[in-house]
Every structure is written in C-alpha cells, then in structure tokens.
A and B are shown apart, each in its own frame.
Chain A
C-alpha cells in the first residue's frame, strides 16, 4: 500500500523504476470505440485543441483510483472532455446536453 508520501511524490502515472511483476505479453485488436477515440484525439492534437501533453495531464488529474478503473481509451475520452472544458472550447452544459441527445438517439435506434 502506498504511503501518503508516496502518493504525493509518485503520482499514479510515474511508474519508472518501481518494482512490478512480470510483463504479460498481451495485445488485442482495437474496438470501434477505441479507434474512434484515438482518431478523435489525434485530430484534436493536429488542431492544437488538446495536445499530447495536455491529454496526459488530463489523465493524470483523474487520480489513481479512476486511472485504475477506466480503460486506456476511456481515460483519453474523459481527459479530452475536461481539457476542452477547462480551455473554454466547450462548456460542461453543452456537453451534458449533447450526451443526453446522443443517448436518446442511440436508445431509440436500438429499440
């Protein structure tokens, strides 16, 4: 269990040099969600809306627990949304409203 000092000195992403178990040689084909998310984030970087460093900082800001629970691209999506809100590119109100619209659309399409 990490001590309080460790939590401050070693944020969740800063793994270099820490003890850890064996590397499991794992991989998987990307899901459509992962691919869309990756493509979106690349386009955001191209337009300097969310660059790689901002994205990573956005992930780090989620904190150890969320980082541990969410998958890689789930973290990217949340990070992008927070960075865009922070920078005033979108507001959380319009994002929430749009998410409700999309959810309604998808639910209707599935029904």
Chain B
C-alpha cells in the first residue's frame, strides 16, 4: 500500500477514516500533516479538554502539570529505589511489605493512586510482570511502558510460555527455578526487585542503580555487571 499525500480537500470527514489505510499502527505518524488537515484524533482530544475546562470539570493547568509529571517519571526512579533496597535491608523489608508506602517514603509521587506490589527475585523464584488485557504498568516508578510490553505477542505469551519468551530476551531461567507471572490490573501494579549481582559489594548506591535497567524491573532480564 502506498501512502498518499492527497490532502483530500472537499470531503468533510466525520471520523470514519483511518490514516493512510495501512493499519494505522505507526506511532510516528505526524499529528498535523503538511497538507493542512488537522489530525482527527488530535482535534478530538483537544475538543474533549476544552469542553471539560469550560464546564469547570478540569483545568488546563492540571493537564499541563500532568505532562510534566509524565516527563519526570522515568525508569531511573525505579533503579534508585532498587539500589536503596540492595543497600538498606530495613528499607527493603518495608518495600516488600508495602510497596506504595515505601516508594512514597523514598520520595516518589505515586501520582496514579495505584497499589504497588514489589516482587523479589530469589534463587528459587523468577517473577515476570505482564498486563494481558492492555497496558497496566507501575508508571510512578518506571514511567510509561515500552511498546513491546503493550504488544500482542508479549501479552499473549507471557502467561503461556514465559520460559520461551524470556529466552527471546536473552534470559535463561534454569528448569529448577519457578517462574511466577503476575497479571496487572487497573488498581494493582507490580515491580520486580532483581537480585543484587555477586561482585558488587564495593559499589556505591549510584553505581548499583546503573546496573538496574527498566527490563530487570519488569522481570524480562537480570542485572549484569558491565
């Protein structure tokens, strides 16, 4: 299918069109195409915002502030959290007992109000997090989920063949280790606490945090020494 740059003037579309007709899944598609026709969905979200602001139900400032919140929440928060848990046993205990309270104690704004459950990787159990129905994710600690987390193959296979799936991420889980898959929902989110690698005894907290990638906190990989 070729992409047309036809501005399609003269037809006032009432929203039944899809862009380019190729299945639409391109997240890089421009918002306002050069032909000057504003993007239907961008207009739609603007219209919703304006109407609700006019009705006094939300404020434009709240939406702007939320954009900043989204920008501020990155996987680095989770990495710092894990490094703290690795170096402070009492904090780790609190984190495992009540994730939501512990991240707030650590200074992370639990802005979406969800309950956080922290899952500890052990030599016996490897935890893996998925949202089979959609894209629930511990956003306050990890930011927004990567595209593959929301993809059909990940959601479909994580609960059926996690061992094979993990192998595709380069993670070999020995047969003697139990794999526990946690299916997230709207109100309950999971964060994996990876195992601290051997040979890191002399590392500082920031050095440790650098080992903790986003994927280790989803459970698809494990921390490696550089």
Interface residues of A (CB under 8 A from B): 13-28, 30-40, 42-47, 49, 51-53, 56, 59, 68-74, 77-78, 80-81, 84, 89-90, 94-96, 98-99, 102-103, 106-107, 110-111
A22 smallest CB distance to B (angstroms): 6
Interface residues of B (CB under 8 A from A): 14, 18, 23-29, 31-32, 36-39, 41-52, 55, 57-58, 62-64, 66-67, 69-71, 111-113, 130, 132-136, 144, 146-148, 150-160, 165, 168-169, 183, 186-187
The 10 A-B pairs of least Cβ separation, nearest first, read A16-B132, A39-B66, A52-B186, A20-B156, A27-B146, A98-B47, A20-B153, A106-B38, A18-B156, A15-B156
Taking a contact as CB atoms closer than 8 A, the residue among A21, A22, A25, A44 that contacts B58 in the complex is A44
Complex contacts, A27 vs chain B, CB 8 Å: 146-148
Complex contacts, A16 vs chain B, CB 8 Å: 130, 132-133, 155-156, 158-160, 183
Instruction: Tell me, in angstroms, the Cα distance from A64 to B133 when the chains sit together.
Output: 14
Instruction: Tell me, in angstroms, the Cα distance from A22 to B50 when the chains sit together.
Output: 42
- Report whether A89 and B52 are in contact in the complex, using a CB–CB cutoff of 8 Å: yes
Instruction: Tell me, in angstroms, the Cα distance from A46 to B213 when the chains sit together.
Output: 29
Give me 6 other A-B pairs in contact (C-beta within 8 A), A21-B153, A39-B66 excluded: A15-B155, A16-B155, A19-B157, A19-B160, A33-B39, A102-B50
- Report whether A45 and B155 are in contact in the complex, using a CB–CB cutoff of 8 Å: no
Taking a contact as CB atoms closer than 8 A, the residue among A21, A103, A111 that contacts B43 in the complex is A103
A28 smallest CB distance to B (angstroms): 5
Complex contacts, A72 vs chain B, CB 8 Å: 27, 135, 150
